[in-house]
Amino acid sequence: MDHTICIWNVWSSDQKVARLLNFHSAAVKDVKWSHQGLSVLSCGYDSSSRLVDVEKGLEMQVFKEDQVVSVIKFHPDNSNLFISGGSKGGIRLWDVRSGKVVHEYIRGHDPILDLEFSTNSKQIISSSDVSGRNLSENSIVVWDVSRQVPLSNQVYVEAFTCPCVRSHPFEPFFVAQSNGNYIAIFSLSPPFKLNKYKRYESHGVSGFPIKCVFSLDGEKLVSGSSDGSLYFYDYRSSELVRKIKAYEQACIDVAIHPVMPNVIASCSWNGEVSVFE
């Protein structure tokens, strides 16, 4: 909210903040490391995405939009490409080399809550806040990346918005965190069917923008929760295998270390970040 990005030195006992990046002129909504780990991409309420060289602390590029940019994601196979989604429903695929939009995905004007690439990188899954009207359409849309067309817009027909969508790391499935207090699972093969017999449902969402993440081996699904806990589900059986109470307020995001699978970071609604081993 104070327009900054903090890069933390997790293992240090004294100097915790390794870098403080202050390039946005309004609240920051999302930030991602580049594949090589040399730069970070961020976006926010100043209607821009920004690429910053972490070592030098210098802004390399600014990608301006006509909307608050709420979510960004690098292409899994091509580190020069990233997608952005925002408050006016615009989804754009950018090339960092030219600083220009390569593709645009246009459906409606509902704010984008989350974006994800499919397991094979050929599709984009978008989740929108369609509260109040034709809820059974457009809340989750699967797009063809190269043809820029929606492959399906009636994936999820229940009257809940989904603040988070995540693809399984290896298998052709994706999950959506639902405001109905459960995580739904879908096939990534047309017609992208919801699995009606499997859902992950011990945690609470309660209107918070709560995120979830797959473990590196794809065998666990970890979610934040409105009760301030981390919930660990068995991906295949959907059973709850572990719960860790972390905060007094809602636990809104969780991330697994890309190299050390037993190290997990999470954060809470009141601005705390915790790292668990």
Residue 115 has pLDDT above 60, yes or no: yes
What is the distance between the alpha carbons of residues 170 and 232, in angstroms, rounded to a whole number? 19
Residues 198/223, Cβ–Cβ less than 8 Å: no
Place of tokens 């590196």: 216
What's the confidence (pLDDT) of residue 12? 85
Q: How confident is the model at residue 132 (pLDDT cuts 50, 70, 90)?
A: low
Give domain limits for the chain.
1-106, 202-277
Token pair in block for residue 70: 């709420």
pLDDT digits (tens, 9 = 90+) for 196-206: 999 999 999 99
Residue 136 has pLDDT above 90, yes or no: no
DSSP assignment of 208-270 equals S---EEE-TTSSEEEE-BTTSEEEEEETTT--EEEEEE--SS-EEEEEE-SS-TT-EEEEETT
pLDDT digits (tens, 9 = 90+) for 160-198: 899 999 999 999 999 999 999 999 999 999 999 999 999
pLDDT digits (tens, 9 = 90+) for 65-114: 999 999 999 999 999 999 999 999 999 999 999 999 999 998 878 999 99
What is the distance between the alpha carbons of residues 110 and 130, in angstroms, rounded to a whole number? 6
Instruction: Please give the DSSP secondary-structure letter assigned to residue 40.
Output: E
If one compares 248 and 157, the residue with the highest pLDDT of the two is 248
Q: Give me the percent of the chain exceeding a pLDDT of 70.
A: 97
What's the confidence (pLDDT) of residue 137? 66
- Side chain identity at residue 121, one-letter code: S
Q: In the CATH hierarchy, which top-level class contains the domain 202-277?
A: mainly beta
What dotted CATH number matches 1-106?
Answer: 2.130.10.10
- DSSP, collapsed to helix, strand or coil, labels residue 46 as coil
Residues 24/44, Cβ–Cβ less than 8 Å: yes
pLDDT digits (tens, 9 = 90+) for 72-86: 999 999 999 999 999
- Side chain identity at residue 202, one-letter code: S
pLDDT digits (tens, 9 = 90+) for 201-239: 999 999 999 999 999 999 999 999 999 999 999 999 999
In this chain, the answer to whether the domains covering 1-106 and 202-277 adopt an identical fold is: no
Residue 133 has pLDDT above 70, yes or no: no
User: CA of 7: how far to CAs of 4, 21, 54, 55, 215, in Å?
Assistant: 10, 8, 9, 11, 23
**Residue 271 burial (10 A CB sphere; 0-12, 13-18, 19+):** exposed
pLDDT digits (tens, 9 = 90+) for 22-46: 999 999 999 999 999 999 999 999 9
Q: In sequence order, which residues have a C-beta less than 8 Å from that of residue 134 and are 6 or more positions away?
A: none
Taking residue 64's Cβ as centre, other Cβ atoms within 10 Å add up to 11
Mean pLDDT over 256-269 rounds to: 95
